[in-house]
Amino acid sequence: MTRFDQAALDMLRIIVSVLAPRFAVTSWTGERIGPPDGPALHIASPDAVRRMALRPRMDTVVDLWAEGAVDVEGGTLFDIVDLKPEGRFKERLRALPKARLLALIPALLGGGSKRQTSELAGKDPFVSGSDKAAITHHYDVSNAFYRLFLDERMVYTCAYFKDFSNTIDEAQRDKLDHICRKLRLKPGDRLLDIGCGWGALLIHAAKHYGAIGTGVSLSEAQSELARERIRAEGLEGKITIEIKSYTEIEGTFDKIASIGMFEAVGIANYDTYFTTVHRLLAPEGIYLHHAITRRQKRSRRRFRKKSAEHLALVKYIFPGGELDHLGMTIENLEGHGFEVHDVENLREHYGRTCRLWAERLHARFADAVAEAGQPRARLWLLYLTGCALAFERGTVQINQTVATRRQRGPSGLPPTRDDLYRASEAR
């Protein structure tokens, strides 16, 4: 064994012994450190240890995972997280013997590769994610890839679980209906879906509520399949799909839905976004704003500080993505001439959705690799798992906010929310 290999193995042993995870760690030599049974985190080469020691950052971890230099044996990422060290992880990190670890660094400097960043990393994380290049990076992986883990309608947003034991197909159907009910859709309503994806909401609204739909998207791959699905349903005369920015939309609409696209707008563009939606919404129309949010901090400065996890997300998966907080959403709606009527937190629903997506992708991982390549497939598995954990733990939220154009007198909405939750007809 070379000096480099021995130093890397010694460093790995020290770190595992101090952090004491409840899962095992296996090395490139075949050595198993930790419990003899159960899942294990596999470190495939001494170079992985070197890179993590010299650049202990989140994007290093993501790169190593994408390359397969770090992997899970005998389980899933969820299993590894469930068996994390007991107690506060930061306290265990502080307990690491820094002098012993630093003494191993010189031997690590002379070996390993110089590669540091995955070729799958996206563009500058502070560029707006609503431009075409950013949308293409995220959504145009391939329609076949998304089919591997989405529901039968291909809805790539938070599902709505009337019962958390429901299937993803049931929950996404119920989500589409929940949205239509909140919009109080009726026959002949002109519905605009901003960021319409594969057209599931528009198809549901046209088939079951008689709406006349317009969808806009910047993804050519999604729009092409959406049009195919619309033709298959015989709805060409009721639904139009256009590839354009929300800023280019013309006309007036009775109902507007923005489901899971607002995260790509960028905080710098919020004024343009809300001004545009207000311009497009007819008097007495209804707007449904469905978006992921972060928790507000004590100051705006602290809120604007990006976490390591967020920076990794926008670098590898969703270039330009930014999240506001619920207060900012309401502030912008009211400041741009809307009246807010209802806010519903669906955090646990999205946690369940992402967990099901991750499990489905894991079950068809060989197909995912064949379709998108191993690095991208591994990144998406990591991404969906991380999202599930973030929503389950409450690190991020998702809210549906219902608003109308502000006006004097009655809003025209029912006096209670009872109609939203009455047993609906089978649809």
Provide φ and ψ at 24, rounded to 5°: -85, 160
**Cβ–Cβ < 8 Å for 75, 39:** yes
Nearest Cα residue to 304 out of 290, 323, 318, 287: 323
Residues 6 or more apart in contact with residue 259 via CB below 8 angstroms? 157, 179, 193, 195, 197, 201, 288, 290
- Catalytic pick from 158, 196, 354, 387? 387
Q: Is 387 considered catalytic here?
A: yes
Amino acid at 104: L
Q: Beta partners for 292?
A: 398
Amino acid at 139: Y
Amino acid at 18: V
Specify the DSSP element, H or E, that contains 179: helix 168-182
**Residue at token pair 């991208």:** 376
**Cβ–Cβ < 8 Å for 150, 384:** no
Which two tokens mark 339? 């009246």
List residues with catalytic annotation.
387
